[in-house]
Amino acid sequence: MSHDLTALLPELADSVAVSLQEGAFIMAWPVDDVGPLPSPSVDTEVTMRSADRTLVVGVSVTRDLARQVAQDTLGELDPDAIGEDDARDAVLELANVVAGRLAKRFSGDGALVTLSPPAIRTGTASGAVFLAMETDSGARVRCSLHEGAR
């Protein structure tokens, strides 16, 4: 099953890159090192369900990048005005947009795909495949895909 998930990684990378660029004016590209992010990080997930498949999309970013995404998304000039709740909410929305873009792959053939609300993640399931990306500021994004229960 993970081979099948690996085939989705280029689409996941594109979803992350476009979402960051359009939402927060941040450029990002895939990198080879998929190791864990330095702490502290904000870890989120969205579950995508179709009639025959359930996928869980994870998006994790460093706290500094979460604050940058929130600041850029909100158009806030003062970085000190961005609180932890703003940063967390910005990453939850980023995960939602990334999953929504990826869901288009599944709904293109007419399949109905539903997305769960984004949530804070507390671990990674076994069998997950990973994607790492780096932003133009050197910040890291780590994404994962794994099969979920139907």
Q: Where are the domains of the chain?
A: 2-147
State the pLDDT at residue 84. Answer: 93
Both tokens of 114, joined, read 């539903």
State the pLDDT at residue 51. Answer: 85
**Fold of the domain built from segment(s) 2-147:** Chemotaxis protein chec (3.40.1550)
State the pLDDT at residue 3. Answer: 46
What secondary structure letter does DSSP report for 82? -
Provide Rg for the chain, Cα atoms.
15
Question: Which residues are bridge partners to 134 per DSSP?
Answer: 29, 140
Q: Is the pLDDT of residue 150 over 70?
A: no
The rounded distance, in Å, linking the Cα atoms of 113 and 128 is 20
Global pTM?
0.89
State the pLDDT at residue 130. Answer: 92
pLDDT digits (tens, 9 = 90+) for 20-48: 999 889 999 999 988 888 888 999 999 99
Q: Which residues contact residue 69 at a Cβ distance below 8 angstroms, ignoring those fewer than 6 apart?
A: 20, 23, 24, 26, 61, 87, 90, 91, 94
